[in-house]
Structure 1
Amino acid sequence: MSVKKVPFSQAKIEEITKSFPTPFHIYDEQAIRDNVRRFLDAFSWAPAFKEYFAVKATPNPAILEILRQEGLGGDCSSLAELILCEKAGITGENIMFTSNNTPDGEFQKACELGAIINLDDITHIEFLEEQVGLPQLICFRYNPGPLVESGNSIIGYPEEAKYGLTKEQIFEAYKTVRDKGVKRFGIHTMVVSNELDTAGLLGTANMMFDLAVEIYQKLGIKLEFINLGGGIGVPYQLAQQPVDLEFLGKAIQEAYELKIKSAGLHPLKLMMECGRMITGPYGYLVSRVIHEKNIYKHYIGLDACMANLMRPALYGSYHHITVMGKENQPCDHVYDVTGSLCENNDKFAIDRSLPQIEIGDLVVIHDAGAHGHSMGFNYNGKLRSAELLLQADGSVKQIRRAETLNDYFATLDFDCVTTNLAAAAKK
């Protein structure tokens, strides 16, 4: 069973709210660093193991700087994410650029930074060659299709996903780029997300090891690396267990030795691109209770809404909730915990048993450190909130300010409206 604790006292978080009004996301720096070190240690046996943090999970340069210091690279899928890595000092082959339906300008920026280009479709070979030129290192994203017997709640069934090349295309693609002069090769896949089943994660490794051997046997191409994707999940629910990283690392090591070493392909670099498990459990959405409503159900209204954390509305996801100062009180009240959007799915929890809640209470929503703030939006004119960093020394700093109405209106042309109204008034 997972344990859900917050890294601050009620007095500490109340003090923080005096300088930074709720709602806000706050990240625990030391916990993130400790987690990364444990993850890297579990795969320290692998030749030149590299974790490429999925920037989309928590796209903030302060977080990326912490991860760079710990030896991580960046997994990017857009121009903005490439620039975020660049500004955080992550460049060259410390960037894996994995995108789909990619504009030429994004390939150009990735090549400018010296990133590893991971192509999502066989037609992208010609597109990349025409727009930028083929780099010396090329990677392809593999979609195994029905080879994977079950789907994933986030990605779905591989054969129905828009990502990657078929097995037949994989062989054609490597032959094509080899004949065009490419000298270095890698391969990538991403078939699960938020996976807590070690067997599923190990199955991905076995599948890719077998494919690497087959590519070598059929084409004579020795891959430089295999990127096993991300996919390691977060135990959002209390009854769930986190992935045993040490067990997973050892199991993949055994498969590597059995398949890769025995085929004469050692050393072969291993990579992963986890995002969620790196920062997810160590970020918290802090919100204030501003309303209580009792009709057919009992509702608690927060000053946050799904614009601050979309996952419960999008996936029906569970996020644990702590009511500060009431951690040891009985959970003998049942509430829907809601935001203020004009959408009925704007709920952080439905029929959740919690301590009795009063207006003014501070509520902390757990496991919001990945795909939380980054999925924010402005529907209903809601403004994205601030991001804070609880630093290793216990101090707090703002790493992204809250949006203002001026930010929201900045891209609108009110002068046009004023001119048209003035013209209409003269008629």
Structure 2
Amino acid sequence: MKTPFVTKEQLDAITAQYPTPFHIYDEAGIRENARRLREAFSWNPGYREYFAVKATPTPAILKILKEEGCGCDCSSLTELLMSEKCGITGENIMFSSNDTPAEEFQLADKLGAIINLDDLTLVDYLEQSIGHIPQKICCRYNPGGVFTLSETREGFQVMDNPGDAKYGMTRAQIAEAFTRLHAMGAKEFGIHAFLASNTLSNAYYPALARILFQLAVDLQNETGVHITFINLSGGIGIPYQPDQPANDIAAIGDGVRQAYEEILVPAGMGDVALYTELGRFMLGPYGHLVTRAIHEKHIYKEYIGVDACACNLMRPAMYGSYHHITVMGKEDQPCNHKYDVVGGLCENNDKFAVDRMLPKIDMGDLLVIHDTGAHGFSMGYNYNGKLRSAELLLRQDGSVELIRRAETVEDYFRTLVW
């Protein structure tokens, strides 16, 4: 059972001031989660979390995470500028873009960010773009093939296909990149990799760590470079469905520690710092999309039409993803009605739920769509001329703050040339 972090009474008061739909975030939950993560990796003195800005590119959120000791993982010029405006600069930024224009490398260098190169060809391109090679540099590794992890506590198999991903360098390429970068003036090196998405297994990060730790030992021996950090990237997932088990970040941190002590420490690399780039894990559960039932339709199926649409939350339409729905005020009523919960786009995939068993929904009911704190608002768009919603922050003291106003028709027309 998933329980919203706001009550119906709170939402009644909030919607009297801010019309639906809107995204709302839980400050207390965000801070508590960031502290659990930091504690799980506190055994590593150089540990730093670089929040994946693409997940929730909202200044108020970035500032909260900055206060909790997090940096920013940026992948575009705009994300770099947003981080700078939030006071996050220097090595508190990891710039991990791909297919990167020169101007983005130039801004990353100006801000003092750690640049993570996605491809061997970017070695020369980076030097041409900024006129030098930074002393501290990172390269992204792609092992190819299929990554599988069968032994999980839930009995599920984690599987992804790095060989089909556009990101990262081959084993031979990353060795060549390190050798060339070292000859061009780089002094400190890092390794980055992302092998699976939204994993619900405490074993994923330790398994990834073992791959990267052994790679680090081998590369340092082969190339003679000084590897000072390893970036485990993201991939720690959240339980979107109510019966799925949540990851235990303390157990994950301990599993990584064991791998560190078994592989890096004996190789004389016990000073290597660890970085993470979590987005979904950091924010996903701490955001709701709040919407209101405005229509019902009875044809071959039962439909509930709400005032949000896929423009507010793309994941169900794009991936068929499950997002739990709570009908506010009816949490204890039986789920004995089968509905498709839909938006108003001219696309048949504009559905938040298909054949979902829910309590009877009446017009005007407020619905909370769970786990939209990451890759929710950020993936919004303007198809059919739909306007992007407001974002609100539920403060720790119970007050509510507008942190991004809703778009207006004037905003939509502003870039047009008539």
Correspondence for 1:369 = 373
Correspondence for 1:348 = 352
Distance (Å, rounded) in 1 between the aligned partners of 2:78 and 2:108: 11
146-155 vs 133-142, which deviates more? 146-155
Distance (Å, rounded) in 1 between the aligned partners of 2:147 and 2:330: 45
User: Would you say the 8 A contact 2:102–2:129 is kept in 1?
Assistant: yes
Correspondence for 2:153 = none
Distance (Å, rounded) in 1 between the aligned partners of 2:148 and 2:326: 38
1:266 counterpart (266, 270, 273): 270
Unaligned runs of 5+ residues in structure 1 are 415-427
Q: Deviations over 1:361-381 (max 9, x none)?
A: 000000000000000000010
Q: Deviations over 1:89-129 (max 9, x none)?
A: 11000000000000011111101100000000000011110
After superposition, the Cα gap between the structure-2 partners of 1:86 and 1:208, relative to the gap in structure 1 and judged at 3 Å, is same
Matches within 5 A, 1:44-123: 44-123=42-121
User: Would you say the 8 A contact 1:55–1:76 is kept in 2?
Assistant: yes
Matches within 5 A, 1:317-396: 317-396=321-400
User: Would you say the 8 A contact 2:328–2:368 is kept in 1?
Assistant: yes
Distance (Å, rounded) in 1 between the aligned partners of 2:237 and 2:185: 39
Distance (Å, rounded) in 1 between the aligned partners of 2:305 and 2:99: 40
- TM-fit CA distance, 1:154: 12
Write the letter of the residue equivalent to 1:208: L
Correspondence for 2:122 = 124
Correspondence for 1:23 = 21
Q: Does 1:214 align with 2:218?
A: yes
Query: Segments of 4+ in structure 1 off by > 6 A?
Result: 150-155
Correspondence for 1:136 = 135
User: Would you say the 8 A contact 2:74–2:96 is kept in 1?
Assistant: yes
- TM-fit CA distance, 1:201: 2.3
Write the letter of the residue equivalent to 1:136: Q
Correspondence for 1:423 = none
Q: TM-score, normalised by structure 1?
A: 0.94
Distance (Å, rounded) in 1 between the aligned partners of 2:88 and 2:378: 19
Write the letter of the residue equivalent to 2:85: K
Matches within 5 A, 1:292-303: 292-303=296-307
Write the letter of the residue equivalent to 1:171: A
Distance (Å, rounded) in 2 between the aligned partners of 1:150 and 1:345: 32
User: Would you say the 8 A contact 2:158–2:199 is kept in 1?
Assistant: no
Q: Does 1:198 align with 2:202?
A: yes
Write the letter of the residue equivalent to 2:140: R
User: Would you say the 8 A contact 1:222–1:265 is kept in 2?
Assistant: no
Unaligned runs of 5+ residues in structure 2 are 151-155
Distance (Å, rounded) in 1 between the aligned partners of 2:79 and 2:195: 22
Identity of matched residues, %: 58
When the two chains are superposed, the root-mean-square deviation of aligned CA atoms in Å is 1.6
Distance (Å, rounded) in 2 between the aligned partners of 1:266 and 1:332: 57
1:246 counterpart (250, 270, 284): 250
Q: TM-score, normalised by structure 2?
A: 0.96
Write the letter of the residue equivalent to 2:138: C
User: Would you say the 8 A contact 1:388–1:396 is kept in 2?
Assistant: yes
Write the letter of the residue equivalent to 2:275: M
After superposition, the Cα gap between the structure-2 partners of 1:212 and 1:123, relative to the gap in structure 1 and judged at 3 Å, is same
- TM-fit CA distance, 1:200: 2.4
Write the letter of the residue equivalent to 1:283: G
Distance (Å, rounded) in 1 between the aligned partners of 2:109 and 2:71: 16
Counterpart of 1:223 in 2: which secondary structure? strand
User: Would you say the 8 A contact 1:155–1:161 is kept in 2?
Assistant: no
Distance (Å, rounded) in 2 between the aligned partners of 1:58 and 1:179: 38
Distance (Å, rounded) in 2 between the aligned partners of 1:219 and 1:10: 60
Counterpart of 2:226 in 1: which secondary structure? coil
